[in-house]
Structure 1
Amino acid sequence: MAELRLRAPAIKAIKRIYERVQASKLGSYDEFQLEQELKLVSSHFARFVANHELLVASAEKGEVEAHETLWVEVEDIYNDTCCILNRAITGAKPNVQAGRQHSHECEFRLEPLAIPTFDGTMQTWLAFKDAFELLVHNTEYPEAYKLGKLRQAVSSHAVPLVGSVYSGGYGEVWSALKERFDNKKQLAETHVSRLLNIKPSSEDSSESLLAIFDTVQESLRSLRVIGLPVVEWDAILVPIIVSKLPTVTQREWNMSCLPTEIPKLDELLSFLSQRAHSLSTAIVTWSSRTDATSRGQQRTSSQRTVKSHVAAAEDGKCAYCQGPHRTTKCTRFLAMNHEERVNALKAARLCFNCLKLGHSAKQCPSGLCRHCNRKHNSLLCRETLSTNAGGLTATTTQPVPMNKDHPSD
C-alpha cells in the first residue's frame, strides 16, 4: 500500500533526528539550527500521522493493535525530541534550586492524562470540549500532534468529518467540530429535555433517588456553563423534579416544606441526597458463640448476614417528619391519637420502641415502656393515652397491641 510505503520513511526520519539530538552537543547549535531541527521533525511527524490514520481506517480488525503500538512508540520518540530541542532553544540554565527539580524530572516521566472520548452527542459535548481544550488545544504542542490527539479522541463513526481522508489541518477540523456541536440553542434544548424526561421512579431506594439527583446536577451544571440563569428556576424545577420521585419521598418532602413558601431547589437536592443516604443498605455480619456445658464442649454458631436499613434519624432530628427535633417532641406526632400514631409509625417503617428507622421493636436495644415495662415506646402505651389527640390521662391498663404483619415487628 502507498500509505505504508510513505509512513515508513517518516518513522525512520523521526528516529534519525532523535538519535542526532541525543548524541550531539546542542550547545554548539545556534538558535536557527535548533528551530530548523524542530520544524523538520514536526513535518515528518505530520506525514506519519496522515498516513497512519489512512492505514488504521482501512486495517482489518486483527491489525489495529499493531498500528496502535507503533503509534505510541513514535509519539513518545517525537515528544522526547521536541522537549530536547525546546529546552535547547530557550537556552535556560537552571539555578541550583531548580536544578535539583530538573534532575528529578529527567529520572522519571509521569503518565499522560487520558483525554475523554467524544461519542458525537450534544449531551457529552461540553465535558469533552472543556477537557480537550485544557489538555491539548491550549497547549504549545505542534498542530500535527493536536490533530492526531483529536482523531484519537473523537469517534470517526459518530463524527465522520474528523476521520475523513482529508479533513484539513487541526485548526480547520477543530473549528468545524465547534461549529457543529458548540451550539447554545441545541445544548440548552438537549439538557432541558433531559430534565423534563427524567424517568419517574416508583421504587423508594437509594439507587433510584441518586439516579435522579445525578441527572439533575449534571443537566444544571451544563446549563450554567452556557450562561442560563438556573438559580432563578426554583419555582419551575422543584415541582418537575418532585413529580419524578416515589410517592413516599414526595410525601416526606411535602411534609418538610412550609405551606406558603416556594421551596428552594438547593433544599430539594439536599433533601434527596440525605434521604438517599438514609435508604442505603449495609450488610451486617456477626458471629455468636455458645457454651455447651452439658456436653462439656464449646460450639461456635455459624455466621449469618442480614441486610438492615441504615438509621435515618440522626441525634436531634425527627425520624417521622425530618424536622429539627426529636421524634418524641414532634408536634405533628403528639397531636395524633393512639391509632393514628400506630398507623404513622407503620407507614414510616419506624421502630415501635425507639421511634427510629432501621430495625423492629424485637431487635431494639432501647429500654422498655416507663409505665408498663413492655416492649413499646411510652407514647404508645394505652395506660397514658386517651382518645383525645395528644392526651395523657390514664384510661386502661392494656398495652398497645403489636401488629404481627408490620415489617418492624
Structure 2
Amino acid sequence: MQPPVLTAVQAAEVECRLSKIDSLYSDFDDLQTEAELLCGSTEALERERDEFEKMYFAQMARARTMLADVRPSHSSTCGEEPKSELAPTRQDFVRLPKIDLPHFSGDYQKWLEFRDTYLSLIHNNQTINEINKFHYLRAALRGDALNIIQSLDFTSTNYSIAWNLLTERFDNEKILISNHLQALLNLDKIQKESSDSLRTMIDTINKNLRSLAALGQPTDYWDTLIIHVMAQKLDYSSNLKWEEFRNNHTDILDLKQFLKFLSNRADLLLTIQNNKQVNKTNNSQSQSYNTNSTQKNKTFTVSTANKPATVSCPLCDQEHHLYNCQAFRDLDVDARILKVKHFSVCTNCLRPGHTENRCRLSHCKYCTERHNTLLHKEKLENDNTQHIALSTNIIQTSKQTHVLLSTALVQVSDVNGKLHTARLLLDNGSTSNFVTRDFFEELGLPRESTDSTIQGINNQLTLSAESCNLTIKSRVTDYTASLDCYILPSITQSLPSTYINKNNIQLPSDIQLADPTFNIPGAVDILVGSEIFWDLPVIQETKLGWVVSGVIHQQAKIIKSNTLPFHSLLTHSLKPFTIH
C-alpha cells in the first residue's frame, strides 16, 4: 500500500513531530533498560523491546518516505537544524548486553570473587556509562550489601559513591584474611568416608588458599601446616590410608601431593559407590510370565533377587538388625523393651513382620521364655538390694575353664553433657586407662597429642598418639571418676567370645550386676587400670594367698597392660594362671 501524498502543511507537521520523537525513544530506552536490569532481563521484557523498536522504526521510515515525496530536500520548519534521514545513534542509551554477574550478599569469603568479576566486566568497561553501571551494581547486590547503598538516589553521580561505600566496607584486608583462615581451620571433620566430603575439602582448601595468596599471604610455605590440619579432619579410614601413603615416601610430601591423594581417594569411593548401585540394580530383576487360560490370558510379574533387601535398623538407621545395634545394647532392659514395643518388632527375634507367637527362633537363654535374651530381666527376691559392681567376662581355655574378668556398664559424659552408655573392662594389671577411637569420636571431647609406648603381654608394644580426659558415672551408685585415657583403635575382642549360661554360675539373688549382659558377647569401649580399679588400698584373700592393691602416685615412662594389645595373645598367656 502506497503512503498518502501530503500537503505542504501536513508535511511541515510531520517534520515537527519527527524532531520530537527521538527524545521519546530515548526515554523509552532508559526505562526499559532499568526494568531489564532489575528483573534480570526476562523474555517478556525482551519481547516488548523488540516489538516497540520494530514498530518505531517502521513508522519512522514511513514518515520520512512521505516527506521525501513532498519535499525531497527540505529544511526544518520548527526552528531546528536540518536532520539526517536516519535517527542519530545515542551512545548513552545503547541496549546493554546481558551479563550474568555473581550475587553478593555481604559474605566476606565471597567478596574477592565478586569484586574481581565486577571490576573486569562492569566497573572498568569504558563502553558502559555510569548510570548503567549503577543498574548492574544494584542488580547484583543482595541482603546487607544492598542495604549499604539502598538510600542513595539512582543517579550517575551516585555510582562512584555507591562503589566506594562497598569497598570501604568489604575490602578490609585484615578481616578478609581472618575469614579465609577460619574457613580452613573450622572445616567440619568428616564423620563417614564419602567422595562428596573429600571433594568439598579439596575445594575449600583451593578456594581459600587462592584468596589468601591474592591478599599477599605467603601460602607457598604453608604446605606442612595445611596438610597437618586437614589430615586431622579426615574420617578414620581416609586418615589411615593417608598415613600409609605418607609412610611409603621417604621425602616430605607437599600440598599438591596431599590434594592428589584426596582426589584419587574421592574417585575410588565414587567408583565403589557406583558399583554398589549397579550391583543392586542387577540383583533385582523382573520377569514376566504369560499363562494361557480357557477363559482369559493373565500376565504375572515376579520380582526375584539374588540377595535379601538391605537391612535398616529402626533405632539408628544403619545397615544391621536391631539386636546387633550397639545403641540398642547400650540401653538398659526397660528401655529396650519400650523400644521394641515402639518399633512393633517381634519380642523374641527383634525382627519386624511377625509376633513372638509365630516366631520360629529359639527362646531366651536365661529363662527359656518366649522373649529375646536382650530383654531378659533379673527377678530379685528382696527389694532392698545390695549394689555390688559384679560382672564377669571369660576367656575360654581348651578345658572349658573360664577366667572371670570384671566388666561394668557405665555412663560417660560427652562434650555437651549428654550421657552415653559404655562397656568398661576393669583391669587391675594395667597402669593406665584406654578408650577405643570409635567411642571417643561419639563423645566429641577434646584430644591431646602424646607419644606413648604401651607394653602388653610378652612385651608387645603399641603406640598411642592421642589421649583424652573423660568422666564416668556408675549406673547403680553415685560414684563418678575422671579418667585420663589413651586412645586406641581397639582394646580387645568382643567379650565373652561365646554366650555363657548364667545358670551355671551361682550368683547371689540379692545383687545388682554392674553389667547385666556380662555373659553376652559385646564390645569393650573403655579399659580402666588399677588406679581406679583399686580406688582405695585393699587387702583381699584369694586362692593364691592375700593380695594388696591400691593407688601408687608414680609416673612411669612405659605403660604396662596385661590386656593389650591382642586378644589372642591375652588368651594364650593367661592359661597357666587359670584358677580351677
Q: TM-score, normalised by structure 2?
A: 0.34
Structure 1 or 2: more helix by fraction: 1
Q: TM-score, normalised by structure 1?
A: 0.47
Larger Rg: 2
